[in-house]
Structures are given as structure tokens and as C-alpha cells.
């Protein structure tokens, strides 16, 4: 299924309208498709670690960080997301997205990490690390260890939709902010502007949902990711940015895509 994305910076959608059998039209599709079988099990980890890489087109250090993130996702229990900012690219048709720049700036304010820069890695919404320093990132991941991030179980359902089962966050402090990401699992940029790039989980759309009260519930979304794509759902403390719960769902067939 080919997903067609619009690109306003922030879009808020009522979370209450999605509770248990509520269907939210998150995506529009160019053609009907059902990449998942109804019997597929939820894709969830016992203690997910979320690594967000903020990268840019003209940054000479970013390709190294992008390759490193791909290695992390392939070898560790990590939800990795590559978010390309739009303030460092050659023209408006580049891979940068304004919503990535806005999300990075929000982290900078919450973490007091200084001016925005690339490549920057944010771990579990609360740790700022330089993205092209693998040993520093690995040390930060080791220090995170058994994180307190709870799993969100994402599962395909009939007619090309998917569900998200949210845990009870217990003694945590709701309401929590909810963000839905759509990404290409593998994407390439041709070498016309210099060095060819390869991205893992390149974010192509971001939706900010209304806050979640922290109670266990199941949400239903009207479209599932298409071949070679995936979705991730993150719940965060709106004040500190710290991740409270996270989950991801990938379509089965990997498809390499080329960005401008």
C-alpha cells in the first residue's frame, strides 16, 4: 500500500475517538492493500529502548551516524527512528521535514541541550548524545540498561488496519503526550548531491495525538503500513520528554525506496 502524506508541522487528533473499535483515518492510500494477515501476532518488546536520530542533508558527519543507527536496529532490541531536519539542506525538495525540526527543538528546550545540531541522538526521550560517536552512544545505551519504558503492543487486524494496546502506566503521571510516526524501513538518496545516503526507519510522517490518561486501552487505526514501511507509537511525559511507553509495527516485505 502506498501512503500519501501531507506535511503540516503538527496535527492533533482526538485520542478518545479511537478507544476500542474506534477507527481513526490516520493515512490516505493510493490503492487498497492488506499487507498483514489477521492472525499475525503483535510486534512488541519486553522493554523497548527508543533511539531517535536527528540528521540533515548537508551535514558531513551524519552519514556515519545513519549507518550506525542501522547497525543498532539490526543487532539490538531498539526502536530506531531517523528524523531528517529541514534547516540544513540544499533546497525545499530535500529529505528534511519541518516536523522533525520542530520535534528536535522541543527536545532541546526540555533537555536544555543547547542549540540544535546534527547528528543528534535522543535516547528514551531523556538522553542527548552526539550521533556520530558510536562508543559514546553505546555507553549511554549501556547506562540506560533495563529501561522503564513499557511496551505498546501493535498488531495488524482485518482489512489492512492495525491496533495499539496501551498498558496501564500505574503510578506514573498522566496525561501523557502521544505521537505516531510513519517511516520507510530502508530508504536511499542517490549521490547527485554528493555522497549516497542510506537511511533506516526514515520518518515520513508524524502525528501528534491528544493526551492519554494512562489507563489501559486499545486503539484501532484505519490503515496499516504498506510494504517496506512501518509505524511507531510513543507515549511521553509532556514536561520532561521522557518516554513512558513505546511500540512499533513493520510490514513484512522490505522495499528500498529512493528519496529526492
Give residue 193's pLDDT. 56
Nearest in space to 115 (alpha carbons), one of 98, 101, 100: 101
Give residue 23's pLDDT. 32
Give residue 62's pLDDT. 95
Give residue 214's pLDDT. 92
Q: Tell me the per-residue pLDDT of 103-124, one tens digit each, with 9 for 90 and over.
A: 999 999 999 988 999 999 999 9
Give residue 40's pLDDT. 47
Query: Quick check: bond before 175 cis, omega within 30?
Result: yes
Give residue 22's pLDDT. 35
Q: Tell me the per-residue pLDDT of 154-183, one tens digit each, with 9 for 90 and over.
A: 999 877 899 999 999 876 677 999 999 999
Give the cell for residue 63: 552519514
DSSP state of 63: H
How far is the C-alpha of 258 from the C-alpha of 222, rounded, in Å? Answer: 26
What is the residue extent of each domain of the chain?
A: 10-23+43-259
* pLDDT more than 70, % of the chain: 75
What average pLDDT does the segment 146-158 reach?
87
Give residue 42's pLDDT. 47
Please name the residue that has the C-alpha cell 530508504: 187
Give residue 192's pLDDT. 52
Q: Are 254 and 28 in contact (CB under 8 A)?
A: no
Mean pLDDT of the residues in the chain: 80
For the chain, the straight-line distance linking the first and the last C-alpha, in angstroms and rounded, comes to 20
Q: Are 242 and 124 in contact (CB under 8 A)?
A: yes
Confidence of residue 89 (pLDDT cuts 50, 70, 90): confident
Q: Tell me the per-residue pLDDT of 218-246, one tens digit each, with 9 for 90 and over.
A: 999 988 888 889 999 999 999 999 999 99
Q: Tell me the per-residue pLDDT of 33-79, one tens digit each, with 9 for 90 and over.
A: 333 333 344 444 567 899 999 999 989 999 999 999 999 999 878 99
Give residue 73's pLDDT. 92
**Beta 217-221 vs 23-24: how paired, if at all?**
parallel
Give residue 47's pLDDT. 72
Amino acid at each position: 500500500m502506498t501512503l500519501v502524506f501531507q506535511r503540516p508541522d503538527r496535527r492533533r487528533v482526538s485520542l478518545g475517538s479511537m478507544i476500542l473499535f474506534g477507527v481513526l483515518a490516520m493515512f490516505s492510500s493510493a490503492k487498497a492493500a492488506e499487507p498483514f494477515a489477521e492472525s499475525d501476532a503483535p510486534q512488541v518488546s519486553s522493554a523497548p529502548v527508543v533511539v531517535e536520530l536527528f540528521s540533515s542533508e548537508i551535514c558531513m558527519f551524519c552519514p556515519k551516524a545513519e549507518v550506525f543507527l542501522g547497525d543498532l536496529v539490526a543487532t539490538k532490541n531498539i526502536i530506531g527512528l531517523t528524523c531528517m531536519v529541514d534547516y540544513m539542506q540544499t533546497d525545499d525538495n530535500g529529505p528534511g521535514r519541518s516536523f522533525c525540526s520542530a520535534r528536535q527543538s522541543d527536545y532541546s528546550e526540555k533537555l536544555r541541550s543547547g542549540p540544535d545540531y546534527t547528528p543528534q541522538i535522543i535516547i528514551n526521550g531523556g538522553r542527548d548524545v552526539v550521533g556520530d560517536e558510536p562508543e559514546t552512544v553505546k555507553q549511554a545505551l549501556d547506562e540506560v540498561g533495563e529501561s522503564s519504558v513499557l511496551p505498546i503492543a501493535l498488531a495488524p487486524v482485518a482489512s489492512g488496519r492495525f491496533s495499539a494496546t496501551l498498558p496501564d502506566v500505574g503510578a506514573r503521571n498522566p496525561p501523557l503526550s502521544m505521537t505516531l510516526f510513519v517511516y520507510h524501513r530502508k530508504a536511499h538518496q542517490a549521490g547527485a548531491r554528493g555522497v549516497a545516503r542510506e537511511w533506516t526507519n526514515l520518518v515520513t510522517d508524524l502525528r501528534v495525538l491528544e493526551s492519554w490518561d494512562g489507563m489501559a486501552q486499545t486503539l484501532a487505526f484505519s490503515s496499516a503500513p504498506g510494504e517496506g514501511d512501518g509505524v511507531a507509537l510513543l507515549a511521553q511525559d509532556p514536561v520532561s520528554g521522557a518516554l513512558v511507553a513505546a511500540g512499533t509495527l513493520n510490514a513484512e516485505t522490505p522495499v528500498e525506496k529512493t528519496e529526492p
